[in-house]
Structure 1
């Protein structure tokens, strides 16, 4: 393909580590049978792929029992599993104004169908949360607190551990959307008071699309979202009680999960600390380069503050989609424009009409690529 400067890692990381494709190809060639559905050699090999991937994810997220991880096709499925599997008629939920539609839409659906109530805690114009506002929202009996670990628009990082402490103090469960943090920020589910962790395989974990998962704490029991074949307790008419089978009906994406294992192994090798520092340094360089350009307004935390590898901005008198189109066609730079499936965050920072241009860096992003975006915006303006 033609040369491209890829700055859309918040959507999907690219390129993948070489081991990802290799692992997927080997799986397709040698163990492309149904895991857990047979005792022949290929089926056993396929089961081993899933088991080893769970082990690597457990190591990364500090999870004691690998069977507490259920594989899903993406974070959206994981969030739906958690939200719809937990909430009952009349429950109260506390969420935030930086939630993705993968959280907001299931909640709004349950408002309509189950009569749940939801409080969306406000954030300031940097995407920062005041814990006193969370505590205020928890004054009424609450079943679930759900929060984005890092905003996919602003790059701001929420204090998950403290939010979880408040949630548990008030008898609520904490669900964390780690779409922008898994593989980039250190996640320790027990230390951070996380009961449910939804994560993608195709972003910071460097795996292929069509992979992801949901960590379900051992004390939690969710109503399964899907019902069907699991290869276990087949004589029973209900979903099996054993994990992870209870939450994994149907044939899994074994080749994709093999690729995910390779991606996670790369993350563990590099360490989230190194990845975060690398991406943070690049975002600071981008902020410093864009800030002096007349007509550009930067979103998210100020320079020098913690943030993930996202820099979003608004351009005066220009539609965000126009800027993204020109960056692609004139400069070969791939970014994202629009509302980024998070209208609540745009309402919070008053960009719901304009949308924003979002550049997001990754493990392989270089200073040269960041500088290319800065020069391109100078020319556009």
Structure 2
């Protein structure tokens, strides 16, 4: 399976949590004071608190749920950047970052991509020279979905902090398998997906926003709070959570988080490294096969990209799926 794109199978508890919510609760959080609504709200609260524990976030209310991490990234980038601002990223960013930034660059936002090495790694010493007088933000993925290469977010966060810049992290490939500490890494905006290493259902994700960051709203509407006012609520997470959330999915995400805490993230990481090392070792015995990325499980996630000389990668994928999928 392509675990750079999603995780499967999920822990059994994730399936049970989604099914239990749909069969026994079914309420819409914040839309009333009856038991099913209150219990639905408790599901969101529990998941928020688990996420805050995972990422060392002081106030769980600063976490808003989104449809997915792409939604969260758009909220972060478009909520901060204005024409005339400058942003720095690595050259390895996913299209979830690159496409919004390309669109913003057409509207006057200046964008600098700091080149990575051929294996996808980044020298943090190359970040500071890219800072300009109008630099507003540094945005960076924690690990590549193509090569698995882990980027030095703690070092880059320190640079952002030193220059008084906002630091935004795309944790799609790492949340749940690598430690992320928003305080230690000076992360102002953290975006995450629920369905990859957090082991939750698809259609779940979210964004952490430091209290000092004021985002321009991309969406407004019903929140179940302050309904007598036409003004969008200013408090978090209501400010960023217009519309009915995917509460069954969030129930499943909470179960995925519980599984991670019970199993131990360090144990999950160790197991992935063992599998990665084994696969890389055996792949290197295949003539004409080229591995992209570090080729060292200490420097990467469990994502391995490769090509075989003379064979189209689509054909290789089809053969593997037909024979071993």
Query: Normalized against structure 1, the TM-score is what?
Result: 0.83
The equivalent of 1:93 in structure 2 is 87
Gaps of 5+ in 1: 1-6, 334-381
Distance 1:262 1:100 in 2: 27
Residue 33 of structure 1: how far off its partner (Å) = 1.4
Mapped contact 1:183–1:267 kept (Cα < 8 A):
yes
Residue 70 of structure 1: how far off its partner (Å) = 0.4
Mapped contact 2:276–2:297 kept (Cα < 8 A):
no
1:71 aligns to what SS in structure 2? strand
Residue 178 of structure 1: how far off its partner (Å) = 0.3
The equivalent of 2:184 in structure 1 is 191
Mapped contact 1:142–1:170 kept (Cα < 8 A):
no
Match of 2:104 among 106, 110, 113: 110
Match of 2:36 among 33, 37, 42: 42
Output one character per residue of 1:184-207: Cα deviation in whole Å (capped at 9) or x when no partner: 001111011111111010000000
The equivalent of 1:340 in structure 2 is none
Q: How is 1:23-102 mapped onto 2 (pairs within 5 angstroms)?
A: 23-102=17-96
The equivalent of 1:210 in structure 2 is 203
Output one character per residue of 1:322-372: Cα deviation in whole Å (capped at 9) or x when no partner: 11011111x133xxxxxxxxxxxxxxxxxxxxxxxxxxxxxxxxxxxxxxx
Mapped contact 1:167–1:173 kept (Cα < 8 A):
yes
The equivalent of 1:126 in structure 2 is 119
Distance 1:133 1:193 in 2: 18
Distance 2:13 2:98 in 1: 35
Distance 2:206 2:189 in 1: 10
Distance 2:317 2:295 in 1: 23
List, as ranges, runs of 4+ consecutive aligned residues in structure 1 with deviation greater than 6 Å: none
Residue 303 of structure 1: how far off its partner (Å) = 3.1
Distance 1:58 1:227 in 2: 25
Distance 2:172 2:69 in 1: 7
The equivalent of 2:217 in structure 1 is 224
Whether 1:255 and 2:248 are equivalent positions in the alignment is yes
Distance 2:324 2:277 in 1: 22
Distance 1:140 1:325 in 2: 50
The equivalent of 1:332 in structure 2 is 324
Gaps of 5+ in 2: none
Distance 1:317 1:310 in 2: 23
The equivalent of 2:13 in structure 1 is 19
Query: Normalized against structure 2, the TM-score is what?
Result: 0.98
**Root-mean-square deviation over aligned CA pairs:** 1.1
Distance 2:132 2:238 in 1: 37
Distance 1:270 1:118 in 2: 41
Match of 1:182 among 171, 175, 178: 175
Distance 1:19 1:57 in 2: 17
Distance 2:285 2:91 in 1: 29
1:310 aligns to what SS in structure 2? coil
The equivalent of 2:193 in structure 1 is 200
